[in-house]
Chains A and B, each alone.
Chain A
C-alpha cells in the first residue's frame, strides 16, 4: 500500500435513527483519516456520537440506527454498501473491535480459548489444533498467566481487567490491520487502565496495527494517542496531533473540557471553570453551532450558521467562527 494512502478514510459520515419524519441525526458529517500504525483517539462526552461513528465503520449499528450517507474507505475499498459477505470478511480479519464492557462482551458459557480462537475458525485461517495453540499464545501475550491451562476457563473465572485482555486477544487473533477500541478502560480500576493502555501501545508497535480508541477521558487519550479527534453533538469540533491539542486547545469546548478537570494548577477548594448547561439533545438542534448555547465566546453569527472545520495548522482542524476570525486577524498561518 502506498505510503500516502491512509488505511482508513471516513468522509462526511451521517448516521441517523428513526424513519421518515421522525429521523434524528446522531452523527452529522464526520470525516477523518487513520494511517497505518497510528493511534487516533476520538474523545467526547455521552451522546456526542463517537460510539456510533466507530460502529458504523464495521456496520455494527444497533437496530433502528443506520448510516444515511457518507464514505468509509478501508485500504481504498468502500465499505458502506459493500456486500454482506465482504463485510463479514472484513470484520474480525481486517478490522477488529474491542467493546466497552468486559463483563458482558464474552459468552458466559464458552471457554475463553474457544472464544479467542473463534475468529480463526470463522475466517478459516487455521486448523482446529493449531487454533487453540494460537489462542493460548495470544492469551499469554496479552498477559494472562498459564494460558494453556486456562483455555477452558469461563469468563466468570477472570477479573475485569483480565477479561478485557481476553477481548483484546480475541480481536488480535487474525492479525487485523485496524483495531477499534470502544472505551476499553472505562469501569476498570485506574492501575488496570494503565496496564491495558500500555498493552495496546505495545501491541500496536509490535504489529504495525492502527488503533482507533474511543473515550470520554481526554487525559487518558493524551497518554498514548498520536492524534486526537474531539466530538460534540455529532460533529468534530477539533482535531490535531495530541501534543498540540493538549498543549494549546483551540476550540472553546476542548478548552472547557480540559479545564473542567481539576489539576495541579487548580487551587483546591476553588470553583472550577465549569460549563453551564448540558450536552444537547440531538432532536432539537438548530442550524447554528451546536455548542453556542454553552460557549463563552459565542457571537451572533454562531447561532445562525454552523462553522466548518478549517485548518489551523499543518495537521489540525477546528470548527469555530471565533477561532477562525482570530487567526485571520492575527494573520498567522500556524499555531502560536
Chain B
C-alpha cells in the first residue's frame, strides 16, 4: 500500500511542473497588456511610466527568464505580489481559499448524503414510478442554471420569507473570529462555539444547497447506473444463496462495489467545487477563490492568475490522489498498478 501511494505521489511532481509551464505560457500569450489595464490609457501612453511599470513587475525580461524567476520564487514559497492588490499572492489566497473550502465541503457533504441513498433506491426500484421520479428530479437538478437558482434562493428565502440571513459569511453583527485561518465553520465546530457555528451555517447552507443541486443530479444518476450494474452480478446471488436478506445483499455486497466509480466522480466534483463557483460566490457575496480568480483574470494580474492556477491544479491533483488512495484501500486489485 505504501509503495502504491508513493508511486502516486511521485507522479504528481511532473504534472505540477507541466501545469506551471502551460499556465505561464498561456497567460503570457494573451494579447493584452496589464500595463494598459492598470495604468489607464493616459499612463500607458507615456513611455517613461510604462518602462517603470514594466521594470517594477519584471515584465520586460524575456519569457524564459521570467519563468525561471517564478519557479525559483515558488520553491521559496513566494508566489509573487498581486499587481492589483499589492499584496503577496500567498496572502490573498490564504484569505480567500478557506471560504471556498468550507463551502465546497458543505456542498459535497450534502450531495453525498442525498445522492447515494437516492441512487441506490432508484436502482433497487428500477422501472417503477419511484425510479422515474428520482430520475426526473435529478435531470431537473442538473439542468437548472446555478446563477438563476442562486438568485431565486436569495429572493425567496431572504427577501420574501426572511429565513435566510442574507449574503456574506457572517451576520454584520458578528465579528470574524481571529486565529481560525478563515475556517470559521470547522474551527467553531471543533471548539464548541455553537453560536458562531450556528451563524456561519445559517449563512453557508443556502449557497451550499444551490451548489449541490448540480452534483446531486450527476452523482445520483451515476450511483443508480453503477448500482444497477452491480445488482446483476453473480456474487449477489451467492450471498442470497447463503441466506441473506435482500437489503443486506444490496448494502453489504452491492453498494461497496458500486461506490468505486462514484468515488472518482465525487472527487472530481469536489475539485470542481473548490475551483470556485464564480456565480454563486458573487451572488451570495461569498469571499472565495471564484471571486478572486475572476478579478485576477480580468485585470491580467499575472502573479495572481498563476497563483490561482497553481492552487486549483494542486487541489485537483490532491483530490485525484485521495481518490486513488481510497481506491487502493477499498479494492486491492487497484494496488497492482
Contact = CB atoms under 8 A, between A and B. Distances in A.
A/B contact in complex, CB under 8 angstroms = yes
Interface hub of A88, A107, A122 (most chain B Cβ within 10 A) = A107
B59 interface: no
A154 B333 contact: yes
Interface stretch (B104-112, B178-186, B194-202, B239-247): B239-247
A99 interface: yes
Interface string A109-133: 1100000001100110000000000
A109 B326 CA distance: 13
5 contacts: A60-B241, A106-B238, A107-B253, A108-B257, A170-B238
Contact of B235 (A93, A105, A122, A156): A105
A199 to B, nearest CB: 18
A93 B331 CA distance: 29
Contact of B242 (A104, A119, A154): A119
Given A108-B257, A108-B331, A154-B332, A123 B243 contact: yes
Interface in B139-164: none
B256 to A, nearest CB: 5
Q: How large is the interface on B (under 10, 10 to 19, 20 to 34, 35 or more residues)?
A: 20 to 34
B61 interface: no
Nearest to A91: B243
A62 to B, nearest CB: 9
Q: Which 6 A-B pairs have the closest CB atoms?
A: A92-B243, A92-B242, A104-B234, A97-B241, A91-B243, A107-B235
Interface in A39-90: 58, 60, 88-90
Contacts of B235: 104-108
B16 to A, nearest CB: 32
B22 to A, nearest CB: 38
Interface string B61-99: 000000000000000000000000000000000000000
Given A101-B234, A104-B233, A154-B332, A96 B256 contact: no
A134 to B, nearest CB: 14
A167 interface: yes
Looking at B240, B243, B245, B256, the one whose CB has the most chain A CB atoms below 10 A away is B243
A90 B330 CA distance: 32
Nearest to A94: B243
Contacts of B256: 109
B7 interface: no
B28 interface: no
Interface in A223-270: none
Given A104-B233, A108-B331, A108-B333, A122 B243 contact: yes
B151 to A, nearest CB: 44
Contacts of A170: 238, 242
B234 A60 contact: no
B331 A96 contact: no
Interface of A: 58, 60, 88-93, 96-97, 99, 101, 104-110, 118-119, 122-123, 154, 156-157, 167, 170
A155 to B, nearest CB: 9
Nearest to B335: A154
A93 B253 contact: no
A88 B244 contact: yes
Specify which of B240, B241, B330, B333 lies most central, judged by the most chain A CB atoms within 10 Å of its CB.
B241
A91 B240 contact: yes
A122 B238 contact: no
A92 B257 contact: no
B240 A60 contact: yes
A109 B257 contact: yes
Nearest to A167: B238
A119 B331 contact: no
A82 to B, nearest CB: 13
Interface in B249-270: 253, 256-257
A60 B239 CA distance: 11
Contacts of A167: 238
Contacts of B237: 60, 99, 105
B104 to A, nearest CB: 28
A152 to B, nearest CB: 9
A38 to B, nearest CB: 21
A77 to B, nearest CB: 16
Nearest to A89: B243
A131 to B, nearest CB: 13
A99 B234 contact: yes
A109 B332 CA distance: 7
Given A91-B243, A104-B233, A122-B244, A99 B238 contact: yes
B242 A109 contact: no
A105 B241 CA distance: 11
B245 A88 contact: yes
B257 to A, nearest CB: 6
Contacts of A88: 243-245
A110 B254 CA distance: 12
Contact of A118 (B239, B245, B257, B332): B239
Nearest to B254: A107
A224 B132 CA distance: 51
A327 B253 CA distance: 55
Given A101-B234, A109-B332, A122-B243, 9 more contacts: A58-B241, A92-B243, A105-B234, A106-B235, A108-B333, A109-B256, A109-B331, A118-B239, A156-B332
Contacts of B332: 109, 154, 156-157
A157 B333 CA distance: 9
Nearest to B260: A109
Contacts of B244: 88, 118, 122
